Amino acid sequence: MSSTPLAAVPSAQRPARFRGRIGRDAHSGHYAVPRRYRLHLTTACPDGLRIAVGHGLLALDDICPITFLAAVPDCPGGGHSALRPLYEAGAHRYTGPALAPVLSDDWSGRIVSSHASDILRDLDRCFGDGRARLYPSGAETEIQEVERLCAQGIEAAAQRAGRAGAAPAERATALNVLTDTLDCLERRLTGREFLVGDELTAADVELWVALVQLDTVHRHHLDAAAVHRVAGHPALWAHARRLAARPAFGAHLDLDGIARRHHARCAGLEAAGSAVQILDWAHHTAVAPGSRPR
């Protein structure tokens, strides 16, 4: 991994960030019109998987189509050549990576957003049918808390716990943060079907994607004892199994793509935890992934 500070990288070579939002009316610029927008995703990426699952739960195939990208980016710097025209249209003389996910506007040929959380919220708010809401009214604070726990307490902590070259004390501290977070979410799920309220929400999608990453990616850099600690949360992993059996989740679980993306990006050493699989995801997935670019 490069140690060059981002500020030292020429601005044209930095990853472009687009934070446009779909509005409710014409005055917003990007107003909600069926079939105007398109998603560009790879489900081997956590953000892409999260959006694809939410898109499936909202049944938006005919309203906002998806272009699936290869699991492993085909350009130097981690970008996708298929996205380069969109990035170049939106950022003058852009030479940085053309990263997924992207929500684009087919009318203008430009990018609306590359911010996963905004994309999913806008799809739910503007194109959901009103019956199944990923972000129901009054639940936003709880959902944001689950998002924070997954991002910091699971994803970031698992990365630190398995980081090659880290001091043992640093790894142990990170593992404690990880297991404490899993303990908190375990208590929240015990005796309940969903994390927030009585219906499936974006909080459940967030946790499911975090658990997929934990078992299919981060586990390979933890020792066996650490993986057994992670696995000792029966309510969490039962929740993951139940959701994997739903087509909106299982149809997008590209285990081979996740593995290839991990091996292409990761320079860390494999640890003993790699041999301790927590879930047999292929067995619990009801619908096999569709054909996607390789």
Tell me how many domains the chain contains. 2
Average pLDDT score over residue span 124-146 = 90
The answer to whether position 133 is within a domain reads: no
Full-model pTM: 0.91
Domain of 180: which CATH number? 1.20.1050.10
Give the Cα separation of 253 and 209 in Å (integer): 10
Structure tokens at 181: 């977070």
Q: How many CB atoms lie within 10 A of CB 149?
A: 23
The answer to whether position 132 is within a domain reads: no
Same domain, 168 and 273: yes
Same domain, 70 and 174: no
| Cβ contacts of 145 within 8 Å, gap of 6 or more | none
Helix ranges (H only) for 217-254 are 224-231, 234-244, 247-250
User: Is 93's pLDDT higher than 90?
Assistant: no
170-222, pLDDT tens digit by residue?
A: 999 999 999 999 999 999 999 999 999 999 999 999 999 999 999 999 999 99
For 138-142, 181-185, 211-215, 272-276, which range has the lowest pLDDT when averaged over its residues? 272-276
The answer to whether position 84 is within a domain reads: yes
Question: What pLDDT does residue 94 have?
Answer: 87
Last residue of a domain, one of 71, 100, 127: 127
Same domain, 170 and 203: yes
The answer to whether position 264 is within a domain reads: yes
Structure tokens at 261: 């993306």
Mean pLDDT, all residues of the chain: 89
Same domain, 189 and 83: no
Query: What is the extent of the structural domain holding 104?
Result: 8-127
Instruction: Give the rounded percent of residues in the chain with a pLDDT score beyond 70.
Output: 90
Same domain, 119 and 159: no
Average pLDDT score over residue span 151-160 = 97
Question: What pLDDT does residue 287 have?
Answer: 52
For 99-103, 162-166, 182-186, which range has the lowest pLDDT when averaged over its residues? 162-166
Question: What pLDDT does residue 292 have?
Answer: 46
* DSSP state letter for 101: P
220-259, pLDDT tens digit by residue?
A: 999 999 999 999 999 999 999 999 999 999 999 999 999 9
Same domain, 154 and 238: yes
